[in-house]
Structure 1
Amino acid sequence: MNKLIYGIFAALIGFNCSAAESAQDYKCYIKSSYGNEYIVFFKWKDKNVRRHMAALPATQLTDRMNKKYFVKTVDECITMDKEFVSTTAKKLDLQTLR
């Protein structure tokens, strides 16, 4: 009986920890294989941001005109409430629809 209670307690603690670790919105300044630059949006958990950023190059995405492109480089990824460092990314961010 005690093992069952400890098991339920451990499961509840694990559930609370994972619930507290919610995903956050990110915006990334990328360059495509065609030479175009984009601001793209993602929802990632904080602990996985670096892994997701590293996986983006060579990923195929689709722009607003349904044109497919491959990500060539990822210059910056930041949370939605922050500003990009690059002036080019800042200008593009102002022009990009959310």
Structure 2
Amino acid sequence: MKKILTIILCFMPLISVAKATEKQDYKCHVSTSSEDRVIFFNWTASEVDKKMARLTGRKMKDYQKNRKYFIREVNECLPLNATFSTSLGREIDNKTLR
């Protein structure tokens, strides 16, 4: 019994490290050169702030309209199941397809 408990306790830190590096889906409300949008990303939880800061000035492509646009400002980035704090963000999120 002691051996089983010892083995389980030895592997517990490895399980928690794996969860910290798991990727999660995020949605970001951004202001672009053409309009406000909600854009979806798949990031690790530890890198969200860094990735969010790098979005400003990034060139993206709208494949439906076949047009390029620049991200002027990142208003808010949240996990996929969360709701935006602004009414404009919630409105755009409701219209955006997943």
Instruction: Please indicate, yes or no, whether the TM-score normalized by the shorter chain is above 0.5.
Output: yes
RMSD over equivalenced CA pairs, Å = 1.9
Partner of 2:26: 26
The percentage of aligned residue pairs carrying the same residue is 31
- Matched residue of 1:58: which SS? coil
Aligned to 1:61: 60
TM-score, length basis structure 2: 0.79
Amino acid corresponding to residue 94 of structure 1 in structure 2 = N
TM-score by length of 1: 0.79
Aligned AA (2:50)? R
- Number of paired residues? 86
> What residue is the counterpart of 1:95 in the other structure?
95
Q: Which residue of 1 aligns with 2:73?
A: 73
Q: Which runs of 5+ in 2 are unaligned?
A: 1-10
Q: Partner of 1:25: helix, strand, or coil?
A: strand
Q: Which residue identity does 2:60 align to in structure 1?
A: L
Query: How do 1:35-50 residues align onto structure 2 when only pairs under 5 Å count?
Result: 36-50=35-49
Runs of 4 or more, structure 1, over 4 Å off, are: 12-18
Query: By how many angstroms is 1:67 displaced?
Result: 1.0
